[in-house]
Amino acid sequence: MNIKHILLFILLFAAVTVQAQSKKQTKAQIDSAKADSIMLQKIQAEMSQPETPAAPQARAAASANPDISVIGDFRGLYRSYGKHNFDAVLNEAEFSFQSVIDPYARADFFYSVEEDPKTGKFSGEVEEGYLTTLALPYNLQLKAGRFKQSLGRINLVHPHALPFIDMPDVYVNFFGEEGLKGDGFSASWLLPNPAFFQELTFEATAVDPESPLFERSDANNFLYLAHLRNFWDLSANSTIEFGFTGVTGENIFGNRSNIGALDFTYKWKPVQFNTYKQFTFQNEFYYSHAHQVGNNIVNALGFYSMIYTQVGKRTFLAGRYDYSNSPFSNTFVQQSGSLTLGWEATEFQKIEIEAKYTTMNQPMAQYNNEQNFSSAFLRWIFVIGSHGAHRY
């Protein structure tokens, strides 16, 4: 076989291969076109059929388990007075159980376990436990049980959700570290005001016995509270809130103490950059009119003013000024300034440090009779389980 025969064989083989491949491609294209045509016919047939409503599905039963979470509050602290200047404590472990009971009511329980800084032992109590209605007519809502009362801004908020670690001086002097809370009833009415949000609240409670200003009465002298909340949307980015509160109840002298309170809050949080920017200017003012022994009456006042701003995606800064009399001595004056830096990893974990300087015109035993002193705080908040939204 010479070279001519070899070349002829190669050309013949190539021609046969090309022809075979061409036939295969043609067959594949025909098959694909047939498949597309069949699919198109099926779609057209389905579209031409009349619509039939889907069979109704049975409604799933509500879960019998409430939303459960545990919030840990670990703190380190320094104070310039006394011999024991440094400390580290698990300040509180809060257990929350929250659930809708039925379409008409929901229940919220908060059980707190706290460490005694003197003994190091833990003790627990029901911090809050109340029932709230959900379906009353005429924009009404009732609450019954043990609850934080509708006084100003911070009293309704649990401490771990606040942007500072220690409570304002006037708040502690007038109502104690735990604030104003009690067992009783609360009725709120959302006023039919088309111009802006208005809510009126009335409460009657047997006040918590740890309150420094009010006493749980042995008679039928309950603590009565009225609060008017006014809220405006200035724009898509900013809001203003005004609140007025009146409180009256029996004091430790067996007479009555009356409180008038005003709160004002401005918030700015741009819609476009809400993850990175926000600004809050918050203020609360308290005026106390206390009947002591005989005809002795003490008029005292106090307030705090706070600026809270976001300086990064997870970094926040809060500055606060406090001024306070004692509710039983208007000659006593306590003033302080504090600065808090916070870092929020997520809504389930945050770390804060705070520095505070306090001056008083009279010595107090609880501060080792020091009139000027410094303090510093570290707080680490961590949450497991479901975590409810905070009050706006």
pLDDT of amino acid 4 = 47
Q: Give the separation between CA 109 and CA 127, rounded to whole angstroms.
A: 8
> Strand pairing of 181-190 and 349-360?
unpaired
Q: Give the separation between CA 379 and CA 73, rounded to whole angstroms.
A: 7
Q: Which two tokens stand for residue 23?
A: 């036939």
Instruction: Determine phi and psi for 369, rounding to 5 degrees.
Output: 60, 20
Q: Which two tokens stand for residue 51?
A: 């619509």
pLDDT of amino acid 213 = 86
Q: Do residues 227 and 249 lie in contact, with contact meaning Cβ atoms separated by under 8 Å? A: no
Q: Give the separation between CA 31 and CA 344, rounded to whole angstroms.
A: 61
Cα–Cα separations (whole angstroms), residue 228 to 189, 202, 246, 263, 301 = 10, 9, 9, 10, 20
Residue type (1 letter), 192: P
Instruction: Kindly tell me the number of DSSP H helices and DSSP E strands found in the chain.
Output: 2, 16
Q: Give the separation between CA 22 and CA 345, rounded to whole angstroms.
A: 64
**Residue written as token pair 């509708």:** 150
pLDDT tens sequence for the chain (392 residues): 444 454 444 444 444 444 544 444 444 444 544 555 565 566 566 666 655 544 444 334 455 789 999 999 999 999 998 888 899 999 999 999 999 999 999 999 999 999 887 788 899 999 999 999 999 999 999 999 999 999 999 999 999 999 999 999 999 999 998 899 999 999 999 999 999 999 999 999 998 877 888 887 777 789 999 999 999 999 999 999 999 999 999 988 888 999 999 999 999 999 888 788 999 999 999 999 999 887 889 999 999 999 999 999 999 999 999 999 999 899 999 999 999 999 999 989 999 999 999 999 987 777 777 889 999 999 999 999 987 656 65
Residue type (1 letter), 90: L
Domain borders along the chain are: 66-385
Q: Give the separation between CA 265 and CA 285, rounded to whole angstroms.
A: 12
pLDDT of amino acid 25 = 45
Q: Give the separation between CA 275 and CA 261, rounded to whole angstroms.
A: 33
**Secondary structure element (H or E) that encloses residue 172, with its range:** helix 169-175
Q: Give the separation between CA 118 and CA 121, rounded to whole angstroms.
A: 8
Q: Do residues 201 and 243 lie in contact, with contact meaning Cβ atoms separated by under 8 Å? A: no
**Residue written as token pair 């376990």:** 113
pLDDT of amino acid 15 = 47
Q: Give the separation between CA 223 and CA 217, rounded to whole angstroms.
A: 9
Q: Do residues 333 and 358 lie in contact, with contact meaning Cβ atoms separated by under 8 Å? A: no
Hey, what CATH class is 66-385 in? mainly beta
Instruction: Please name every residue paired with 297 in a beta bridge, in sequence order, or none if there are none.
Output: 291
Q: Do residues 264 and 283 lie in contact, with contact meaning Cβ atoms separated by under 8 Å? A: yes
3-state secondary structure of 312: coil
pLDDT of amino acid 272 = 85
pLDDT of amino acid 75 = 95
193 CB contacts (<8 Å, ≥6 apart)? Answer: none
pLDDT of amino acid 388 = 64
3-state secondary structure of 51: coil
> Strand pairing of 86-102 and 67-79?
antiparallel
